[in-house]
Amino acid sequence: MSLSAVFLHAAIWATEPHAAAPLASEGEVIGGVPVVRLVDHPEFHRIVVQLHHDTELTIEVVAAPTPRGACTHHGYAVQPRWELLNQPDQTVEDQPPVVRELCDRLAAEPPRLQLHPPAGNEASSTNTGGGGSEDFSAPHGNGEHPRGHQSADGPAPPTFRPLHAVLGTLLLTLLVAGPLTWRRQAQRDPAAARTALGTVLSVTGIGLIARMLLGLDAPLWSPMFGFGRFAMVLGGFESIGTYGDGYTATLTAFTAIFGAHTSVILNSNLMLGACVPPLIWGTARVLVPERPLAAASAALFAALLPTHVWISATEVMHISLVTWEVLAILTAGLFLRESPRHWGTGIALALVSALATVMAVHTRPEAIPFLLVPALLVLLHTRRVHLPGLALAAAIVATGTGLRLAEMAFDVSDEASAVQYDLLRNAETWHALLLPDIRPPGHSSLSSVLVRPTLTSPLVPLLALVGLRKSPRSISVVLAGWWAIAVVPVLPKAFPMADAWRLQAASLMPILVLAGVGFDVVVGWLRAHVPRLPTAALPVHAVLGLLLLPQLFLERPTWGTLDEARLLIRSTPNLPASSTVLFDDTHRHAEAVANWGRFAAPGSTWHAISQNPPLDASDGPLLAWLGTGCRDPSLTAAPGLESPGCNRIRNACTLTPVAVESLAFTADIDRKFTVETGEVGFYRLTTCTAPADVPPASPASPKLRNEPLPRSSSTSP
């Protein structure tokens, strides 16, 4: 956000008229139960009440353009989160008195809450002339005018953002200082430089190939599709204040050059992920130059790190966060080494480190404490010759962080967080951090990726402990501090497991450096005690690579909702531009599905099924996207049935499969579907003659299946 935008928010906040009071206050007794705490988040207002002496019920108030939850009034909905207690959702009539009283309060007057719809999307209320149904294909973001105007030709080119100047300066400086530093190193030791170049190319190639072959090509939390971030980058709406503009600025730099397409976003994230192994190599090489095997070993650990490999091909912002953090540490170390020899190069490297830190801080809120890590590294090793570069870096980081904090002060509530930090007071949380996790996949407790043997090779933490002991004291302090600062703020959000993968990715980077040092120590000991052990680095690292391979396959996700997301991603671009698509909007990120459809099939029109869209007026093909959300048990009339909107479509029309797959109805959350397997995908709708108010059909009704469906189909309509 620019400084002018900050002042604009301040002016709006200062002149905002008085609104009604919140629905509840902490300590208040509502419906016979006390309110124990309130949590504000840009997407929800959470009211936690003490139902019994050992049971707390979370009730969320969310922005709701359509009816949902226990009640909906004034554009807000009250949603009791029974699933967090592993209990089935209650009907509206069976809700406890506290929920009913909150609904009465909401009906009386709107609360004083500034909530954004989930993922920053807000459905447009534009009437398309189709019986008053809402068109979700042109959403607005955060209550503001959309940044990128959508035309029939697709999304508009990305506009300039203030962080683009930061990014451009960083890259230009790096392109000058990086090759210059490498050339000077090559002049000092040509043979070592050639070996280093071969190592860098090898680990980069291994990391890139692993990510291309094994990386997930869909968001990790489907059907809660992460397409909201696609829309941010493609111009659908403004960045969310909670996270900052770093991710959007980074990815729009790619889309501005290669085109505003989701394939560009996925491939850009993949390339950013593939940069991590060589960056880790450089970091270990600079921090512990006395350990010849440490750099290549750490880079190999990074190239084959399962969780990073799996998420590199997604759109998650943690990929760029990891890249910026490692780059900041690497260039900070190079600054310390080069400044005494070459003053100008040292200044340039200090500039790159500072700008990379700013990009990390503006990418994720938990990265704000990270700025202490490069600062600690420099302060522990600083000399008088470093002072000019240190002063420049400090000024840049302070300015960038100050603007980020100012942005958060205006855009984010003081308590806005999806992380339950009170869990840090529980011993169980710290046990999850340190004790090996051998529970079966799908468990519902907090987990540390580092100590889960099926996700991270047990060699990594064991070798890291050796490296922590054998590294120079100042380096051990920096790397251990980096790990703690990166993992503690996100540890309470370690379930669902996909959250642990992405949120804990940054904390694994210093562990990999320590593990590289530990591997060097162990190999040195073995060479001293086993005379026949190969002395060349290649066979040693080949053995290490083979030892790391199993974790790439032991717990790779196989959720059916991931297959659903992949089907949606690859089949939507094949839709005709004139298509009218009715989409299943029963899950919280449904609007983002329509955003994705608009971007992937420019000119198509998307309507939410729950809005009872017309079934007879369409200039082009009339299609429906029926996904796993149709089988959400909280919305179905009876076990085995679909949600009312999906049932209406099946009863009103003849369905012909267009791009359909049979898959298991499983997800990375405690979500129980009404069936174990089923078919999802795009269907063409024809002969829509049934009335809109027909009763739900039985699963055995022949109307549900007009012809046998193939197991997989991806033909164009």
Whether 320 has a pLDDT exceeding 90, the answer reads yes
Average pLDDT over residues 511-532: 92
Residue 463: which pLDDT band, with cuts at 50, 70 and 90? very high
Torsion angle of C-alpha atoms 106, 111, 117, 123, degrees rounded to 10: 70
Average pLDDT over residues 352-372: 96
The answer, yes or no, to whether residue 316 has pLDDT greater than 50, is: yes
Most confident of 192-196, 446-450, 505-509, 612-616: 505-509
Q: Which residues contact 368 (CB under 8 A, 6 or more apart)?
A: 361, 401, 404, 405
Based on the number of CB atoms within 10 Å of its own CB, is 463 exposed (0-12), middle (13-18) or buried (19 or more)?
buried
The pLDDT of residue 6 is above 90: no
Alpha-carbon distance of 307 to 433, in angstroms, equals 16
- Buried b vs exposed e over 472-511: b needs ≥16 C-beta within 10 Å? eeebbebbbbbbebbbbbbbbbbbbbbbbbbbbbbbbbbb
Kindly report whether the peptide bond that precedes residue 223 is cis, defined as omega within 30 degrees of 0: yes
Rounded distance between C-alpha atoms, residue 673 and residue 639, angstroms: 9
Alpha-carbon distance of 536 to 609, in angstroms, equals 63
pLDDT at residue 459 greater than cutoff 70: yes
Termini Cα distance of the chain: 42
pLDDT range class, residue 473, cuts 50, 70, 90: very high
Overall pTM > 0.85: no
Highest mean pLDDT among 6-15, 87-96, 608-617: 608-617
* 407-410: long-range pairs with CB below 8 Å, 24+: 407/1, 407/6, 407/241, 407/244, 408/241, 408/242, 408/365, 410/6, 410/9, 410/10, 410/13, 410/241
Q: Tell me the pLDDT tens digit for each residue of 31-64.
A: 889 999 887 776 778 899 998 777 888 898 988 7
pLDDT for residue 304 is more than 60: yes
Q: How confident is the model at residue 503 (pLDDT cuts 50, 70, 90)?
A: very high
Which of the four pLDDT bands, split at 50, 70 and 90, describes residue 717? Answer: very low
Question: In one letter, which amino acid is 479?
Answer: L
Instruction: Compute the average pLDDT of residues 191-206.
Output: 92
Q: What are the structural domain ranges in the chain? A: 21-108, 176-214+275-554, 560-714
Tens digit of pLDDT for each residue in 549-575?
999 988 877 788 878 888 887 888 899
pLDDT score of 414 more than 70: no
Average pLDDT on 239-245 reads 78
| Nearest to 580, CA basis, from 611, 564, 610, 601 | 601
- Which stretch of DSSP H or E encloses residue 660? strand 654-664
Pairwise CA distance, residues 509 & 677, whole Å: 38
Local confidence band at 191 (pLDDT 50, 70, 90 cut-offs): confident
pLDDT higher than threshold 80 for residue 149: no
Q: Would you place residue 460 in the very low, low, confident or very high pLDDT band (cuts 50, 70, 90)?
A: very high
Q: Which two tokens stand for residue 695?
A: 């009763």
Tokens of 406: 């100012």
Strand partners, 141: 121, 144
Alpha carbons 673 and 139: distance in angstroms, whole number: 29
| Average confidence score pLDDT of the chain | 80
DSSP string, 62-100: EE-SS--SSEEETTEEEEE-GGGGT-PPPPGGG--HHHH
Tell me how far apart the alpha carbons of residues 697 and 344 are, in angstroms, rounded to a whole number. 75
d(C-alpha 332, C-alpha 290), whole Å: 18
Return d(Cα 389, Cα 177) in angstroms, integer.
Answer: 14
Helix axis angle for 262-274 and 246-258, nearest 10°, is 110
- B/e letters for 683-697, b = 16+ CB within 10 Å, e = fewer, are bbbeebebeeeeebb
At position 574, the amino acid (one-letter code) is: N
Half-sphere exposure of 485 (CA within 13 A, CB side): 20
Q: Which residue has the higher pLDDT, 237 or 320?
A: 320
Q: What is the rounded average pLDDT of the residues 64-71?
A: 79
Q: 123 pLDDT exceeds 60?
A: no
| pLDDT given for residue 638 in this prediction | 59
For 219, residues 6+ apart whose C-beta sits below 8 A from its C-beta are: 225, 226, 227, 314, 315, 316, 565
Tell me the mean pLDDT in the region 301-309: 95
SS3 46: strand
Buried b (16+ CB within 10 A) or exposed e, 92-111: eeebbebbbbbbebbeeeeb
**Residue 437 clears pLDDT 50, i.e. is over it:** yes
Rounded to whole angstroms, the maximal C-alpha distance in the chain is 84
CB-based contact 176:518 (threshold 8 Å): no
Q: What is the mean pLDDT of residues 505-526?
A: 96
Region 155-182 average pLDDT:
87
- Predicted local distance difference test score (pLDDT) of residue 238: 62
Q: What is the pLDDT of residue 624?
A: 92
Residue 25: CB partners within 8 Å, gap ≥ 6? 35, 38
CA distances in angstroms from 247 to 167, 252, 318, 577, listed in the order given: 11, 8, 9, 29
| Residue type, position 23, single letter | L
Minimal CA–CA distance to 381: which of 251, 472, 306?
Answer: 472
- 700: pLDDT confidence band, cut at 50, 70 and 90? very low
pLDDT at 203 exceeding the cut of 70: yes
- Choose the weakest-confidence range: 357-361, 667-671, 707-711: 707-711
Q: What is the C-alpha to C-alpha distance for residues 250 and 264, in angstroms, rounded to an integer?
A: 12
Q: Could you give the count of Cα atoms lying within 13 Å of 706 in the half-sphere of its Cβ?
A: 15
pLDDT class of 416 with cuts at 50, 70, 90 = low
The H or E element spanning position 60 is: strand 55-63
**For the chain, what's the residue count?**
717
Segment among 51-55, 71-75, 712-716 with least mean pLDDT:
712-716
Residue 243 tokens, joined: 């996270």
